[in-house]
Amino acid sequence: MTISLILAAAAGFADLNALDAAVARFAGAPIGAEGGAVTPLDRRLRLNPCRSPAALSWRGERRETIVVECPDNGGWRLFVPVRALSGGGGMAQPAAINRGDGLTIAVSGDGFSVSQPGEAMDSGPVGGWIRVRALGEKSQPMRAQVIRPGLVSVPVP
């Protein structure tokens, strides 16, 4: 067992390696391969452990994202981007946002809406998920869905 797993278990956090393995089984491809998760889960995540097995499902008809959810009361939900299959028969959508583009990051929830300027850290088509960051010195990257050129949305559970 690695030191990070020992520390996570001791601190009472979910096992991210086990979640990565579950995503790979569900997708039918290893992390980084076509059809598999783009990257492993961020090791900085500190998720509450689940008493029930995590539920995995596809988000959307194009199967670009796997939803990993802890079904426990007060559980959590992760959106894991999947590397597109090449030669899948369908035409790839053109990028609506390119890496380095300036854009608007919209966050909305029940009874509120907030937007701020940001920058695309990845390219992506409408409906795709990319990494973005708000403009500012110490802004952390976040995942957002491309709504249209120049606009992304960050979901609020």
- Please name which of 128, 120, 129, 124 lies closest in space to residue 100, comparing C-alpha atoms: 120
CA dihedral 86, 92, 95, 96 (to 10 degrees): -150
Please give the Cα distance from 84 to 63 (Å, whole number). 9
Based on the number of CB atoms within 10 Å of its own CB, is 27 exposed (0-12), middle (13-18) or buried (19 or more)?
Answer: buried
Please give the Cα distance from 116 to 112 (Å, whole number). 14
Are 107 and 115 within 8 A, CB to CB?
yes
Please give the Cα distance from 50 to 45 (Å, whole number). 14
102-154 topology per CATH? SH3 type barrels. (2.30.30)
String of b and e for 51-66 (b: at least 16 CB within 10 Å)? eeebebeebeeeebbb
In this prediction, residues 37-65 reach a mean pLDDT of 88
What is the token pair recorded at 63? 């199967």
Which residue type does 138 have? K
Are 41 and 19 within 8 A, CB to CB?
yes
pLDDT band at 126 (very low <50, low <70, confident <90, very high): confident
pLDDT in tens, 64-114: 899 999 999 889 999 999 987 665 444 456 788 999 999 999 988 778 889
Question: pTM surpassing 0.75?
Answer: no
Residue 99 φ/ψ, nearest 5 degrees: -55, 135
Domain-by-domain residue ranges, the chain? Answer: 3-81, 102-154
pLDDT for position 76 = 93
